Amino acid sequence: MLYGLGTTIGAGIYSLLGEVARAAGYFAPVSFLLASLLAALTATSFAELSARFPRAAGVSLYVEQGFSSRGLSLIVGLLVISAGLVSSAALLNGFVGYAQEFVNTDRVIIIIGCAVIIGLVAAWGILESVVMASLVTIVELAGLFLVVAVNDSALFSVVERWPELLPPAELGSWLGIYAGVLLAFYAFIGFEDMVDVAEEVKNVKRNLPLAILLTITVTTLTYLLLMTTAVLALPPEQLANSSAPLAELYMVGGSGEGALISFIGLFAIINGALIQMIMTSRVLYGLGSRGLLPPFFARVNPRTQTPLNATVCAASVMLLLALLGGLASLASLTSVIILLLFVLVNASLWRIKRRDRLADDVYSFPRWVPALGAVASLGFVLIQIGRYLGSL
């Protein structure tokens, strides 16, 4: 669960909060609530599939099982790897900006140093990697709850001010809420990476689905608490115009400088890159072990049992992409890729549930759940494509 929280509650919320406030205003908590419901539809599919097929290369394997196509499975696996590498490279570039607030060091040196450290930790061992990611995740969560705690008077004012947070039945208000949903949805992306460590989870058919559902639940509650506190403590316009809204909220609460929150945000970014690296190396390993990629990627270290070759290759590509820079458009494309993968995963489970009998030790959700998840994800894809075409 901590591994999942590390990739969902990461760098995104530290910069996304102001953008959602800009779109939805005082109704931003409603946007987060609706986004959590959309994310939960796909999370339930991942939870069930992780118990049905507890193997690495999760999304690729699920699509192969659903559509009986090894070619499509390979394409999906490569898309997952591409999304992970571009995302981690973009996070490294984001890390540079935070780091240079504290140390005057060249961008290239910071990126190389971070990439080497991330690669070494990922190659060290799954237990060590997840323990380190979990510790940073706890720090991230502590930072968010600290912001809430110093603004406790604003949060408690919800008893009198709750009507301000309820949207009226006006089209204009709901258009803003919908725009906020589109932004907030991306703060929930990350739980899909959890299935790629399935072969390293003990009692996987019980623990992994439970961890996925707990991750979505904790993420939702945390975001709702934080967003409600934010719009009650500061006007949405002020949040929207702030370059570091969480740091500003911390200062508004009477706690002096916001350097502490910025420092925590720095670790949130590097933690997200580490988790993406772990995920990417496991997908490479899974594709290699199933014969879809050369067996070179399926070799594991005899001592740590980590896919060392896959980790070294993934870290090298991540470093190259990070040094090239200019990844903003690629990061946006990554979000569309992930949504496409959500469509395929939900559709795969829908087909599998129609075709196969369920094992006794696997919990099953109703068949309409993955169908609704596929439709919702496809809707997001079409909207994003429409927005992109409209900007040309």
**pLDDT, tens digit, for every residue of 4-54?**
887 788 666 766 788 888 888 889 899 899 989 988 999 999 999 988 888
Region 320-339: mean pLDDT is 69
Q: Do 191 and 215 meet the contact criterion of CB atoms below 8 Å apart?
A: yes
**pLDDT, tens digit, for every residue of 231-269?**
998 888 888 887 677 778 888 877 666 677 778 877 777
Does pLDDT of 327 surpass 50? no
Q: Do 7 and 269 meet the contact criterion of CB atoms below 8 Å apart?
A: no
Q: What Rg value do the Cα atoms of the chain yield, rounded?
A: 21
Instruction: Provide the pLDDT confidence category of residue 200 given band limits of 50, 70 and 90.
Output: confident
Kindly provide the b/e burial profile for residues 92-114, where b requires at least 16 CB atoms within 10 angstroms of the residue's own CB: bbbbbebbeeeeeeebeebbeeb
Q: Please, what are the domains in the chain?
A: 2-391 (1.20.1740.10)
Question: How far is residue 125's CA from residue 131's CA, in Å, rounded to a whole number?
Answer: 10
CA distance between the termini of the chain: 41
Region 173-200: mean pLDDT is 81
When comparing pLDDT for 85 and 361, which is higher? 85
CA-nearest of 264, 374, 350, 342 to 10 is 264
**pLDDT, tens digit, for every residue of 203-220?**
888 899 999 999 999 999
CA-nearest of 227, 270, 290 to 64 is 290
Does pLDDT of 357 surpass 80? no
When comparing pLDDT for 334 and 21, which is higher? 21
Interacting residues of 175 by C-beta distance below 8 A, sequence separation 6+:
none
Does pLDDT of 329 surpass 60? no
Cα→Cα distances 103→43, 97, 100, 198, Å: 39, 10, 5, 39
When comparing pLDDT for 109 and 247, which is higher? 109
**For the chain, what percent of residues have pLDDT higher than 90?**
18
Q: What is the pTM of this model?
A: 0.78
When comparing pLDDT for 361 and 324, which is higher? 324
